[in-house]
Amino acid sequence: MPSVVIKKFSAPDEMRLNTHGEVDILRFGDAAVARSVFAPGWQWSRDVKPKVGTSSCAAAHALYVLSGQMHIVMDDGKEIDIAPGDYALIPPGHDAWTVGDEECVVFDVPGVEKEAERASMPH
């Protein structure tokens, strides 16, 4: 019988830091969950793009916003804002930045958007 696994963001499996943000990752076999804290002034194109070298964020996200706000601009020009209580599926190809003077804290569950697509496909 499988056992319960408990992990804490206070002791993440991986931590990624950038100028205005921090990402803590918990891994559970092939699955993971990340808690990201984006300080006021964080912007993907300024803080992450130089490190990854892509023209926009190439990752898909399944985000739940705990606090703060973020503005997202898709490569096709569509713009959205996310705020506390929002759950957003964001496809690859975007820039994003914090809005206002409050840090934006989100949970990101990589792979959830793929599971959602599979679940909506006819069987």
pLDDT digits (tens, 9 = 90+) for 37-92: 999 999 999 999 998 999 999 999 999 999 999 999 999 999 999 999 999 999 99
What DSSP assignment string belongs to 77-104?
S-EEEE-TT-EEEE-SSEEEEEESSS-E
The encoded tokens of residue 23 equal: 């990402």
Q: State the total domains in the chain.
A: 1
Which CATH number do you get for residue 78? 2.60.120.10
Angle at 32 between CA 107 and CA 34, to 5 degrees: 25
Residue 111 lies inside a defined structural domain of this protein: no
Question: Within 13 A of 16's CA, how many CA atoms are on the CB side?
Answer: 11
pLDDT digits (tens, 9 = 90+) for 2-25: 789 999 999 999 999 888 989 999
Residue 76 lies inside a defined structural domain of this protein: yes
SS3 69: strand
Residue 73 lies inside a defined structural domain of this protein: yes
